[in-house]
């Protein structure tokens, strides 16, 4: 077997034979020593280092889902389809969202968009459909993409639009609690029809919150300028009358005592209470200071409204007393003058 192996090696005769004799054979053997050393070193290095490392992927692969998670996501998805078929859109939306959280499949995302559309939440539906298009990428058929884009365009026409001019630059802009950007906004803000709460805030400035009503297809422009906190002060209004309320600059009445922050300058205040006359006054607000006003109110008559003096009972009582007194005095004076010398002498009764 050994001989056969040596013969099949294909090496030149006597070149690598261990038992070779003669000076020529020994010289050839020594000439192969460096070659054998290099081969041996290469074998050792390849064994220690292993195969060349593959290039790291650009994005690490997500951990594979277990079979039970896949089944659970699939079960939630089909429950969502059944709820959608029964027009139970809030339930269907909750089931689709739960399924997508476990396994973010694009088909689930598409059905989430349909739920938002059925619930008239067009802004969220548009964002979800656009996300679906991005997630599908080139795998999405062209006819399907165009169909979804037509749906998006139809919903966009049913949205309201807010054009917000806000200062100072860099102020945070929120609509219904979500951040839509920082001033100045580059484009209009798409919102669902109805009442929307706009909030503008910036460090060192007073936060402004205002409510605006938007209808479908309407463009509402709103300009908001924040005031530095250094240019505001506080006002504290109270009244000894129970149930008193105060209106600031024509705003809705608020119960007293009342403390609030106002811009520097003069403000119109009206204080009133049931059964009392209202009192109007002007309050001057100074920066960083608190202006205090304790407003007293005059009770009204029984009729519930202020009456002239001549309509009050005590006025005519006093007039009657004065008339009677004047009449008695006049009578006594006339009688005394008419008596003259014929007056009867009654001095004898005192004797």
In this structure, are residues 272 and 261 in contact, taking their beta carbons and an 8 Å threshold? no
Strand order in the sheet with 232-238: 258-263, 232-238, 290-294
- Residue range 67-156 forms a domain whose CATH class is mainly alpha
CATH 2.60.40.10 residue spans of the chain: 229-294
Best-predicted range by mean pLDDT (6-20, 166-180, 302-316): 166-180
Residue 300: both structure tokens together: 């009204």
CATH 2.60.40.1120 residue spans of the chain: 160-225
Helix residue spans in the chain (DSSP H)? 2-8, 23-31, 33-49, 67-85, 89-102, 106-118, 122-136, 142-156, 313-339
Pairing mode, strands 160-167 and 219-225:
parallel
Q: Out of 3-12, 74-83, 87-96, 315-324, pick the least confident.
A: 3-12
In this structure, are residues 202 and 228 in contact, taking their beta carbons and an 8 Å threshold? no
Whether 9 has a pLDDT exceeding 90, the answer reads no
Placement of tokens 């294909």 in the chain: 10
Find out if CATH 3.90.1200.10 is the number for domain 160-225.
Answer: no
What's the pLDDT tens digit per position in 106-133? 999 999 999 999 998 898 999 999 999 9
pTM over 0.95: no
Burial per residue of 46-73, b for 16 or more beta-carbon CB atoms within 10 angstroms, e otherwise: eeeeeeeeeeeeeeeeeeeeeeeeeebb
The C-alpha atoms of residue 229 and residue 207 are separated, in whole angstroms, by 9
Crossing angle of the two packed helices 122-136 and 142-156, in degrees rounded to 10? 160
Average per-residue pLDDT for the chain: 77
CATH 1.25.40.10 residue spans of the chain: 67-156
Helix (H, G, I), strand (E, B) or coil at 165: strand
Q: Average of pLDDT values for 79-83?
A: 94
Q: The domain 229-294: what is its CATH number? A: 2.60.40.10
pLDDT of residue 102: 93
Best-predicted range by mean pLDDT (33-37, 129-133, 300-304, 319-323): 129-133
The C-alpha atoms of residue 107 and residue 135 are separated, in whole angstroms, by 10
pLDDT of residue 1: 40
Whether 284 has a pLDDT exceeding 70, the answer reads yes
What's the pLDDT tens digit per position in 140-187? 999 999 999 999 999 988 888 899 999 899 999 999 998 989 998 888
The C-alpha atoms of residue 231 and residue 261 are separated, in whole angstroms, by 10
């Amino acid at each position: 077997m050994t001989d056969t192996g040596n013969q099949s090696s294909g090496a030149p005769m006597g070149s690598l034979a261990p038992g070779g004799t003669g000076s020529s054979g020994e010289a050839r053997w020594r000439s192969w020593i460096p070659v054998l050393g290099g081969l041996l070193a290469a074998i050792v290095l390849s064994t220690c280092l292993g195969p060349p490392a593959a290039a790291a992927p650009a994005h690490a692969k997500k951990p594979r889902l277990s079979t039970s998670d896949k089944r659970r996501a699939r079960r939630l998805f089909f429950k969502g389809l059944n709820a959608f078929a029964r027009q139970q859109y809030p339930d269907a939306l909750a089931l689709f969202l739960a399924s997508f959280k476990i396994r973010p499949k694009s088909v689930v995302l598409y059905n989430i968009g349909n739920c938002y559309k059925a619930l008239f939440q067009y802004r969220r539906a548009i964002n979800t459909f656009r996300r679906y298009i991005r997630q599908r990428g080139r795998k999405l058929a062209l006819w399907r993409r165009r169909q979804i884009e037509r749906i998006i365009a139809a919903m966009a026409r049913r949205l309201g639009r807010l054009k917000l001019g806000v200062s100072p630059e860099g102020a945070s802009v929120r609509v219904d609690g979500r951040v839509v950007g920082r001033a100045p906004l580059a484009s209009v803000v798409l919102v669902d029809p109805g009442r929307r709460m706009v909030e503008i805030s910036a460090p060192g400035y007073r936060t402004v919150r205002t409510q605006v009503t938007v209808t479908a297809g309407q463009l509402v422009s709103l300009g908001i300028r924040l005031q530095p906190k250094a240019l505001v002060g506080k006002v504290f209004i109270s009244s000894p009358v129970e149930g008193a309320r105060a209106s600031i600059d024509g705003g809705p009445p608020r119960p007293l005592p009342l403390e609030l922050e106002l811009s520097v300058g003069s403000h119109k205040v009206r204080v009133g209470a049931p059964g009392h006359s209202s009192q109007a006054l002007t309050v001057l607000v100074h920066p960083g200071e608190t202006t205090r006003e304790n407003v007293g109110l005059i009770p009204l008559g029984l009729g519930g409204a202020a009456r002239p003096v001549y309509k009050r009972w005590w006025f005519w009582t006093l007039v009657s007393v004065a008339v009677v007194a004047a009449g008695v005095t006049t009578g006594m004076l006339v009688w005394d003058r008419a008596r003259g010398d014929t007056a009867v002498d009654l001095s004898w009764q005192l004797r």
